Amino acid sequence: MRVYTPLEVAGRNIYLREGCYACHSQMIRTLRDEVDRYGPYSLAVESSYDHPQLWGSKRTGPDLARLGNKYSDAWHVTHMNNPRDVVPESVMPAYRWLLRDQLKTEDLGDHLRAMRAVGVPYTDEQIQFAAQDAYGQANPDSPEASGVAERYGEATNIRTFDGRTGPLTDMDALVAYLQMLGTLTDVAHTSETAEVE
Amino acid sequence: MLADFTRGERTGALVILGTMVVLGLAMAIAGRHDLLGIHGWIVFGISLALTFGAIRQLDLPEPSPERLSEYYDAPTRTGLILTLIWGVVGMGAGFWVAALLAWPEMTFDVSWLSWGRLRPIHTSGVIFGFGGNALIATSLHVLQRTTRARLPDALSPWFVLIGYNLFCIIAASGYLMGLTQSKEYAEPEWYADIWLVVVWVVYFFIYMRTLARRKEPHIYVANWYYMAFILVVAILHIVNNLAVPVSFGSAKSYSLFAGVQDAMTQWWYGHNAVAFFLTAGFLGMMYYYLPKRAGRPIFSYRMSIISFWGITFMYMWAGSHHLHYTALPHWVQTLGMAFSVVLLVPSWASAGNALLTLNGAWHKVRDDAVLRFMALAAIFYGITTFEGSFMAIRAVNSLSHYTDWTVGHVHAGALGWVAMITFGSLYSLVPSMFKRERIYSQKLVEVHFWLALSGTVIYVFAMWNSGVIQGLMWRTYDETGTLSYSFIDSLVAMHPYYIARAFGGLLFLLGALTALFNVIMTIRMPAIGMAPEARGDLPAEPVMQAGE
């Protein structure tokens, strides 16, 4: 399990802020139809850095536990901006302000430090470079980008996310978070205990 | 308000308000780069306004010693009005979010009008705003009548009522700004949570101090339920909200628990919020107002005590039924399921006790819409608890979980049980609390009753249908062994039910508005001059008072 990057933490906080958890679960149950629809069922380890968990209790929209890298960044940006542009029947709100609002990054180090206080193993270096890493993850051609791969692993998504380089938007963070979901460990795909009820 | 306070209490009130002004200012300064600052200014503004109000009344003559020969009902009166205001706010938000699911374009590109931010206003508005104020208001009334003792002082009940509503305001305004811990029904952030603990401890001590001075040797069962509500909610609230804030200048915190432990803690909290906030407290209400209105003693007092211990003991274990088939260990799921099923026994004992109490008074149920509200509440309590035990069975839950069935179940309880018992108690309480001869319009109570009943039935049937259809569509396979429906197919199938649900909610909201109007008109009627003793409404040995 790798820890969340600062940009993903920021995106997760936007997911909380907008109340996404009220309509989307992140917990695939050990039932055949859920595994067929969403992928391997969720394991405890996959939410072990989630303070708090976002398992959810209602699926007005589909489960998101394995959403990461299933759709393109551009799809997510369009979908967030107006869901009915890509899914005409959707009842999800249009989150147009995500592309307009600039992401606050200067206190991300404090966020990581607070998460370390409750048990997430962030290193001093990760905390120190939090704001910089957030910028780098959404600006692949910037000098800050290399530090992200170094500190969070080569498998980390380092892309423009909202399609634009330069200053970060809330959309950058949220798409980075969504594109990571279910990709922090592959243990659910390799586990022997794929038995369902 | 300050006219009821002694000199010492007025000083105490000023000290508390002064502290709150300073705390608000400190929050505003420390959180100036954060949304915490806005909450600081809200606390500062409200406390400052209250301080000015208090200073203006500071020189009023001290209350006469004769007040001690009467119960202290002013906080209850205010609490009843706040109950109705929050009810309209919370149910209004509920109607709006229901409509958003049918017509999602109504977000209008305004972040605070989006579904995810309005939904906790609905849930907190009805649970904490409407339900909480109703519980505080009625508990202070029931406590005094059943112990035959006046509240120990005038300051602490006002502190609890105002402090609690400040918590509700902080919670609701926070949601609009996007401040939430994301824990369902425990969304407010760390500073609001700490404040609620302070308020709650004072609330508990009001109860303890009044009971200690009781003139009635026996502690009536309603007080047991109210005390369980206060005590257990304190425990749940503290444990589930343990968190580390990002800084003292930040509204954001990170929960102490993660993943599976957090899920278990959250649903231990979540289900016991149902049990102790929405059940135990309202059972306390039922055990006082229903027999009183019916003019009949409780069918079996012993059964009310046995079911009290049954409910208190067994609910504590039931939370894991929210986590069937998840990453929670299987045996914990089974444990929760077993306790949930057994819970049907004390639940039906309570519902049956209420209905059997009405034996010999069914003609009153027929003629009096106020009593009918309470009778219907007992019926819905029975229906909902049966449904709850049923849905907690793992195999049933595989279909119902994540669907609208759960939403329907919750509303059968919230509309049918909690709101109905509240409205019934409120209607029976308002005339005597405001010293009016009767409620302004019994006909409007009747109208409200039918609006509430039809709204609830439409709502619950819509959600039963949509929930079961959803659950079945998600698990249907065709003959080639592939899933028959995409997720969006199931969403499209929900559309007519979402419209029906919004309509049912609208009827219920109209009922709440009718109640608000009726209560306002009652208060505007001339007061009756009847002396309190004529109504047998006097504390015993009134000379004994605080500090005795």
**What confidence tens digit (pLDDT) does each residue in A151-171 have?**
999 999 999 999 999 999 999
Tell me, what's the pLDDT at B407?
A: 98
Of B101, B243, B259, the CB nearest to A53: B259
Element (H, E) at B509: helix B487-524
Q: Supply the DSSP string of B427-462, one letter for each residue.
A: HHHHHHHTT-SS-S-HHHHHHHHHHHHHHHHHHHHH
Residue B185 corresponds to which tokens in the numbers above? 């029904």
Nearest-neighbour CA in chain B from A100: distance (Å): 11
Give the count of Cβ contacts less than 8 A between chain A and B. Answer: 182
Element (H, E) at B253: strand B253-255
Which amino acid would we find at residue B344? Answer: L
Q: Which of A60, A89, A197 to mutate to test the interface with B (most CBs of B within 10 A)?
A: A60
Tell me, what's the pLDDT at B528?
A: 83
Q: Where are the beta strands (DSSP E) in A69-195?
A: none
Any alpha helices (H) in B358-441, and if so which ranges? 362-367, 369-391, 394-400, 404-411, 420-433
Over residues B419-450, the pLDDT tens digits come to 999 999 999 999 999 999 999 999 999 999 99
Q: Supply the DSSP string of B2-43, one letter for each residue.
A: GGGS-HHHHHHHHHHHHHHHHHHHHHHHHTTTSHHHHHHHHH
Over residues B284-319, the pLDDT tens digits come to 999 999 999 999 999 999 999 999 999 999 999 999
Query: Minimal Cα distance from A46: which residue of B?
Result: B259
Measure the CA dihedral B253/B168/B502/B286, to 10°: 120
- B254 and A90 within 8 Å at the Cβ level: the answer is no
Over residues B60-83, the pLDDT tens digits come to 999 999 999 999 999 999 999 999
Please tell me whether residue A27 adopts helix, strand or coil conformation: coil
B73-525 under CATH 1.20.210.10, yes or no: yes
CB contacts of A54 in chain B (<8 Å) are 182
Cα–Cα–Cα angle for B128, B132, B134, nearest 5°? Answer: 135
Residue B344 corresponds to which tokens in the numbers above? 């049907």
- B256 and A17 within 8 Å at the Cβ level: the answer is no
Nearest-neighbour CA in chain B from A141: distance (Å): 31
pLDDT band at B532 (very low <50, low <70, confident <90, very high): low
pLDDT band at B246 (very low <50, low <70, confident <90, very high): very high
pLDDT greater than 90 at residue B543? no
Nearest-neighbour CA in chain A from B408: distance (Å): 12
CB contacts of A42 in chain B (<8 Å) are 326-327
Query: Minimal Cα distance from A196: which residue of B?
Result: B325
Inter-CA distances, B363 with B355, B358, B360, B372, B477, Å: 13, 9, 8, 10, 53
Q: Which is it for the CA torsion B30, B32, B35, B39, positive or negative?
A: positive
pLDDT greater than 90 at residue B31? yes
Tell me, what's the pLDDT at B538?
A: 67
* Cα distance between residue B167 and residue B128, in whole Å: 9
Mean pLDDT of chain B: 95
pLDDT greater than 70 at residue B254? yes
Of B266, B325, B477, the CB nearest to A52: B266
Q: Are A135 and A113 in contact (CB under 8 A)?
A: no
Tell me, what's the pLDDT at B1?
A: 81
In chain A the domains, ranked by start, together with CATH numbers, are: 6-190 (1.10.760.10)
| Share above pLDDT 70 across residues of chain B, in percent, rounded to a whole number | 97
- A51 and B262 within 8 Å at the Cβ level: the answer is yes
Q: How confident is the model over A36-51, as a mean pLDDT?
A: 96
Nearest-neighbour CA in chain B from A145: distance (Å): 25
Beta-carbon contacts of B308 under 8 Å, excluding residues fewer than 6 positions away, are: B221, B224, B225, B228, B346
CB contacts of A34 in chain B (<8 Å) are 474
Closest C-alpha to A76, from A161, A188, A167 = A161
Cα–Cα–Cα angle for B313, B317, B318, nearest 5°? Answer: 110
CB contacts of A62 in chain B (<8 Å) are 487
Query: Minimal Cα distance from B186: which residue of A?
Result: A52
Of A44, A57, A107, the CB nearest to B322: A57
Over residues A116-142, the pLDDT tens digits come to 999 999 999 999 999 999 999 999 999
Of B120, B250, B474, the CB nearest to A19: B120
- A51 and B255 within 8 Å at the Cβ level: the answer is yes
Closest C-alpha to B241, from B172, B199, B192, B177 = B192
Residue with tokens 């909290």: B269
Tell me, what's the pLDDT at B548?
A: 39
Of A31, A95, A117, the CB nearest to B325: A31
Nearest-neighbour CA in chain B from A127: distance (Å): 13
Q: Are B392 and B318 in contact (CB under 8 A)?
A: yes
- A18 and B477 within 8 Å at the Cβ level: the answer is no
Q: Say what the pTM is.
A: 0.96
Residue A187 corresponds to which tokens in the numbers above? 């243990």
Of B102, B262, B323, the CB nearest to A52: B262
Tell me, what's the pLDDT at B546?
A: 46
**B74-77: long-range contacts, CB 8 A cutoff, minimum separation 24:** B74/B1, B74/B4, B74/B154, B75/B136, B75/B137, B75/B140, B75/B151, B75/B157, B75/B158, B75/B160, B75/B161, B76/B137, B76/B138, B76/B140, B76/B141, B76/B429, B76/B433, B77/B137, B77/B433, B77/B434
Nearest-neighbour CA in chain A from B226: distance (Å): 29
pLDDT band at A188 (very low <50, low <70, confident <90, very high): confident
* Cα distance between residue B129 and residue B89, in whole Å: 9
Inter-CA distances, B59 with A152, B2, B68, Å: 66, 9, 21
**Could you tell me the residue ranges of all domains in chain B?**
1-60, 73-525
Backbone angles phi, psi at B146, to 5 degrees: -85, -15
CB contacts of B120 in chain A (<8 Å) are 19, 22
Over residues B322-373, the pLDDT tens digits come to 999 999 999 999 999 999 999 999 999 999 999 999 999 999 999 999 999 9
- B184 and A22 within 8 Å at the Cβ level: the answer is yes
* Cα distance between residue B523 and residue B439, in whole Å: 9
- A58 and B407 within 8 Å at the Cβ level: the answer is yes
Q: Which residues pair with B244 in a beta bridge?
A: B254
Q: How confident is the model over B215-240, as a mean pLDDT?
A: 97
Q: How confident is the model over B110-115, as a mean pLDDT?
A: 96
Q: Which of B106, B118, B260, B265 to mutate to test the interface with A (most CBs of A within 10 A)?
A: B260
Tell me, what's the pLDDT at B540?
A: 64
Tell me, what's the pLDDT at B534?
A: 47
pLDDT greater than 80 at residue B529? no
pLDDT greater than 80 at residue B460? yes
Tell me, what's the pLDDT at B530?
A: 59
Query: Minimal Cα distance from A91: which residue of B?
Result: B104
- B246 and A22 within 8 Å at the Cβ level: the answer is no
Closest C-alpha to B256, from B548, B264, B6 = B264
Cα–Cα–Cα angle for A16, A18, A19, nearest 5°? Answer: 65
Q: Which of A4, A13, A16, A102 to mutate to test the interface with B (most CBs of B within 10 A)?
A: A16
Residue B455 corresponds to which tokens in the numbers above? 């709204």
- Name the DSSP letter for residue B254: E
Tell me, what's the pLDDT at A191?
A: 67
CB contacts of A41 in chain B (<8 Å) are 327
* CB environment B441-465: b (16+ within 10 A), e (fewer): eeebbebbbebbbebbebbbebbbb
Tell me, what's the pLDDT at B539?
A: 73
pLDDT band at B544 (very low <50, low <70, confident <90, very high): very low
pLDDT greater than 60 at residue B99? yes
- B183 and A13 within 8 Å at the Cβ level: the answer is no
Q: How far is CA B469 from the centre of its chain?
A: 31
